[in-house]
Amino acid sequence: VGIITLTTDFGLKDEYVGVMKGAVLTRFPEAVLVDISHQIAPHDRLQAAFLLAAAVPHFPAGTVHAVVVDPGVGTNRAIVAVRGDGQTVVAPDNGVMSCWLERVTVDAIVCVTNPALRAATVSSTFHGRDIIAPAAAHLAMGLPMTQLGSPMREGDLHRLAALRVRTTTDGDLEGRVVGSDHFGNLMTNVPMTQVPAGARVSVAGNRIGHLVTTYADVSPGTALALAGSRGYLEIAVNQGNALRQLRVQQGDPVTVSPG
Amino acid sequence: VGIITLTTDFGLKDEYVGVMKGAVLTRFPEAVLVDISHQIAPHDRLQAAFLLAAAVPHFPAGTVHAVVVDPGVGTNRAIVAVRGDGQTVVAPDNGVMSCWLERVTVDAIVCVTNPALRAATVSSTFHGRDIIAPAAAHLAMGLPMTQLGSPMREGDLHRLAALRVRTTTDGDLEGRVVGSDHFGNLMTNVPMTQVPAGARVSVAGNRIGHLVTTYADVSPGTALALAGSRGYLEIAVNQGNALRQLRVQQGDPVTVSPG
Amino acid sequence: VGIITLTTDFGLKDEYVGVMKGAVLTRFPEAVLVDISHQIAPHDRLQAAFLLAAAVPHFPAGTVHAVVVDPGVGTNRAIVAVRGDGQTVVAPDNGVMSCWLERVTVDAIVCVTNPALRAATVSSTFHGRDIIAPAAAHLAMGLPMTQLGSPMREGDLHRLAALRVRTTTDGDLEGRVVGSDHFGNLMTNVPMTQVPAGARVSVAGNRIGHLVTTYADVSPGTALALAGSRGYLEIAVNQGNALRQLRVQQGDPVTVSPG
């Protein structure tokens, strides 16, 4: 179908996102462009990694996902295209695929280097427009991955260390708060696949209690822990804002104890 | 044509809007997706109601409008689809259709319950993705309303009490400020159909004067009352910001007196 | 292909952008709509002028660009359509095309006046919906420019004075800071075509140093001057925010001296 999603830290004030779309449409006028987010905090590869992994599985097979959160633009970090489970991601090799790579069966990886598939002149500040958008357009048009550049091995892709969850000697799972969403729900790096039924959760010293099923399982204004729609443990406040109410910060520890 | 509009309180920081679009495109790859707003204040059903009613008439017949402002997600509030005047709205039955229902001739209402037309697993926190987006996709593809669930009566739909305008014993019309737009123009709940030509307007004790036709009818920096593009009375300041200048709040009374 | 871009100061809170899209799709359901920015500062024609000029060259020939930054809505300022280098811009004649006009070879200009190609009722506050969106739809469908209204001469189009760059008696080039982007990079009005290789740059009394090629050419936290992706000189801080760090304001002078 030719769907291309875009995830960037460009914000929406400038023309940058629109220009990337122009760079796609110039090469592939039938592309269907879908914004995931352009409000990733500047250079926040961890946030991008979570959003990308949460979004990809909801798109049809054949979708191409372009990510431009790129503090290393202009340095020699690679730009890569990775295909797995019917989806293709094009991004700087800086860890933004980390969460997605944990879940997917990869079947092809290339380093995007073919000069014929870039802008005629590549700027040193806007590879999203000059390399990533053209690559995404060509992939969405059905160009074989091997045309984009030389193959890479999965083990050579950059991964973010911040994603690691550890098991304590007490048998607890210890993760971290990795951000918050628009509603003030606190995102953690604890995959629900590792959380036992009925687990007890605390965050930064606050006891949240046992895992519940939905916001309304506690009274309004009360904190709760539940399976977030992204597949990770989340801390929320029913009809409230957990970020403001619990005074928790990115990086604070989250502990999950068996019920 | 397969147009689907989206109105939510999701904000643009997270992947939630993109994921809803993925959920639509997975079922209906030819869908044309149009954002109305994703910056409805969290859980503000009144603001959603005004925006929806203002937007719907500007779309071609056959458009499907999905609204996800849903403080009751995870409770037993219904999700409904309502068709009228060639347009279809899919939303939680929580009042977000109230303004639109005042103006439209409804010809079909169903409660969206068919499990075959939802996500395979329905989360308890994201019905926009799991129920509303799939329903919108199916409706935009031409599925008959009756396939979605059982019929409902218009009288059983939830309405927002906050929309009521009253006539005082003096013959004045008394409404309220219901919000402000990006430019600081104050939105009221007074339909222009009820405002007599040459009416005098005051808001929260400030005399604004007689109704004018456009901003430039008063000098720069001066407050004015005019017919807003939404079909309701608005209070603005020529080349200024009425919200800041008049120190008015949501809920403040608006009085309209015959000229 | 029927691509229409939108650049406005409407923000994303209200339904205004969505309504413009509805007004386009009602007339031309196959239109491909691309947002450039809706976060132009209210009534900031200079910012709109820069963004438009930066975006237009990245779209395929035949694209129509609609701009609605329109402090004069409701007055007798004209709405114009200008075609050049394969692109067409529709906007109020208030200077928002100034930067683009400096670079393009214009081959047709009309004043958009044909009442048959507007909304049946034209409001006095929302010409974006009632005049500009319909005109853009008709142009994208291939309607000849001459059908929209009467021809105008290029010399009669409004230009913004704020764009002028002057040469000092010392042979320096003196421009201004015209804004900042999402990353805090400072935008200037100095076209790179006028900046000699190896030039030295200062802004508001801060010496920035010689022109560099990319952010990483200086150490993190250090200010630099480089060719921005818009074709104008920019001042940035490597991995930082120049707007906050340099305490520079819109309008501050920028001096470019031969290296």
pLDDT per position as a tens digit, A165-192 = 999 999 999 999 999 999 999 999 999 9
**pLDDT recorded at residue A151:** 98
Lookup: tokens for A159: 């991964």
Q: Name every chain A residue with its beta carbon within 8 A of the beta carbon of C60.
A: 22, 25-26, 29
**pLDDT recorded at residue B1:** 75
DSSP letter string, A18-84: HHHHHHHHHH-TT-EEEEEES-SPTT-HHHHHHHHHHHGGGS-TT-EEEEE--TTTTSS--EEEEEE
**Rounded average pLDDT per 10-residue block, chain B, 259 residues:** 95 97 98 98 93 96 97 88 98 96 96 96 91 98 97 96 88 93 94 93 94 92 92 93 92 93
Interval A39-52: pLDDT, tens: 999 999 999 999 99
List % helix, strand, coil for chain C (3-state, nearest 5): 25, 30, 45
- Exposed, middle or buried: residue C159 (CB in 10 Å: 0-12, 13-18, 19+)? middle
Interval C178-193: pLDDT, tens: 999 999 999 999 999 9
Q: Which of C34, C192, C230, C232 best tests the A interface by mutation, with the highest count of A CBs <10 A? A: C34
**pLDDT recorded at residue A123:** 86
Averaged pLDDT, C48-59:
96
Torsion sign over Cα B79, B81, B82, B88: positive
**pLDDT recorded at residue A216:** 87
**pLDDT recorded at residue A5:** 98
Lookup: tokens for B30: 């030819």
Would the CB atoms of C55 and A10 count as touching at under 8 Å?
Answer: no
pLDDT bucket at C123, cuts 50 / 70 / 90: confident
Q: Which of B9, B229, B230, B237 best tests the C interface by mutation, with the highest count of C CBs <10 A? A: B229
**Amino acid code (one letter) for B232:** Y
> Quick check: A190 and A249 in contact, CB under 8 A?
no
3-state secondary structure of C6: strand
Q: Is the pLDDT of residue A250 over 80?
A: yes
> Quick check: C97 and C132 in contact, CB under 8 A?
no
Q: What is d(CA C259, CA C201) in angstroms, rounded to the nearest whole number?
A: 9
One-letter-per-residue 3-state SS of chain B: CCEEEEEECCCCCCCHHHHHHHHHHHHCCCCEEEEEECCCCCCCHHHHHHHHHHHHHHCCCCCEEEEECCCCCCCCCCEEEEEECCEEEEEECCCCCHHHHHHCCEEEEEEECCHHHCCCCCCCCCHHHHHHHHHHHHHHCCCCHHHCEEECCHHHCCCCHHHCCEECCCCCEEEEEEEECCCCCEEEEEEHHHCCCCCEEEECCEEEEECECCHHHCCCCCEEEEECCCCEEEEEECCCCHHHHHCCCCCCEEEEECC
**pLDDT recorded at residue B161:** 85
- Kindly report which listed range (B124-128, C28-32, C111-115) carries the lowest average pLDDT score: B124-128
**pLDDT recorded at residue A81:** 98
Mean pLDDT of chain C: 94
Q: Name every chain C residue with its beta carbon within 8 A of the beta carbon of B181.
A: 11, 13-14, 16
Calculate how close chain B gets to A9, using CA atoms only, in Å.
10
**Residues on chain C bordering chain A, Cβ-to-Cβ distance under 8 angstroms:** 1, 3, 5, 7, 12, 32, 34-39, 51-52, 54-55, 58-60, 63, 181-183, 213-217, 226-230, 239
Would the CB atoms of A214 and B125 count as touching at under 8 Å?
Answer: yes
Closest CA to A179 of A81, A83, A89, A44: A44
Nearest by CB to B60, from C15, C29, C75: name it.
C29
Calculate how close chain B gets to C197, using CA atoms only, in Å.
40
Q: Name every chain C residue with its beta carbon within 8 A of the beta carbon of A126.
A: 229
> Quick check: A237 and A184 in contact, CB under 8 A?
yes
3-state secondary structure of A172: coil
Nearest by CB to B59, from C12, C22, C43: name it.
C22
Lookup: tokens for C63: 């694209």
Would the CB atoms of C18 and B228 count as touching at under 8 Å?
Answer: no
3-state secondary structure of C247: coil
Would the CB atoms of A37 and B126 count as touching at under 8 Å?
Answer: no
Q: Name every chain C residue with its beta carbon within 8 A of the beta carbon of A132.
A: none
- CA–CA–CA angle A162, A91, A127 (5° rounding): 120
**pLDDT recorded at residue B74:** 76
Would the CB atoms of B37 and C21 count as touching at under 8 Å?
Answer: no
Residue of A nearest to C234 (CA): A125
Averaged pLDDT, A219-228:
94
pLDDT bucket at C231, cuts 50 / 70 / 90: confident
Q: What is d(CA C135, CA C132) in angstroms, rounded to the nearest whole number?
A: 5
- Kindly report which listed range (A94-108, B91-105, B157-171, C93-107) carries the lowest average pLDDT score: B157-171
**pLDDT recorded at residue B172:** 95
Averaged pLDDT, A143-155:
97
Mean pLDDT of chain A: 94
3-state secondary structure of A106: strand
Q: Name every chain C residue with its beta carbon within 8 A of the beta carbon of A19.
A: 54-55, 58, 229
Would the CB atoms of C183 and A33 count as touching at under 8 Å?
Answer: no
Would the CB atoms of A34 and B15 count as touching at under 8 Å?
Answer: no
Does the predicted model carry a pTM greater than 0.80?
A: yes
Q: Is the pLDDT of residue A125 over 90?
A: no
Averaged pLDDT, A235-247:
93
Averaged pLDDT, A210-233:
92
**pLDDT recorded at residue A124:** 82
Closest CA to C4 of C13, C14, B38, C29: C29
Calculate how close chain B gets to A126, using CA atoms only, in Å.
22
**pLDDT recorded at residue C182:** 92
Q: Name every chain A residue with its beta carbon within 8 A of the beta carbon of B75.
A: 214, 216
Interface predicted TM-score (ipTM): 0.93
**Which other chains touch chain B, taking contact as 3+ CB pairs less than 8 Å apart?**
A, C
Averaged pLDDT, C219-235:
93
Q: Name every chain C residue with its beta carbon within 8 A of the beta carbon of B215.
A: 73-74, 125
Nearest by CB to A13, from C58, C181, C216: name it.
C181
Q: Is the pLDDT of residue A1 over 80?
A: no
> Quick check: A135 and A148 in contact, CB under 8 A?
yes
**Which other chains touch chain C, taking contact as 3+ CB pairs less than 8 Å apart?**
A, B
Q: Which of B39, B56, B183 best tests the C interface by mutation, with the highest count of C CBs <10 A? A: B183
Nearest by CB to A214, from B13, B22, B124: name it.
B124
Nearest by CB to A14, from C3, C51, C59: name it.
C51
pLDDT bucket at C110, cuts 50 / 70 / 90: very high
Q: Is the pLDDT of residue A74 over 80?
A: no
Q: Which of C10, C52, C180, C183 best tests the A interface by mutation, with the highest count of A CBs <10 A? A: C183
Q: Which of A13, A33, A68 best tests the C interface by mutation, with the highest count of C CBs <10 A? A: A13
Q: Is the pLDDT of residue A90 over 90?
A: yes
Interval A127-147: pLDDT, tens: 999 999 999 999 999 999 999
**Amino acid code (one letter) for B20:** M
In sequence order, what are the beta bridge partners of C111? Answer: C80
**Amino acid code (one letter) for B199:** A
* Cα distances (Å, whole numbers) of residue B61 to A51, B56, B86, C16, C141: 35, 10, 5, 19, 20
Closest CA to C159 of C252, C53, C235: C53
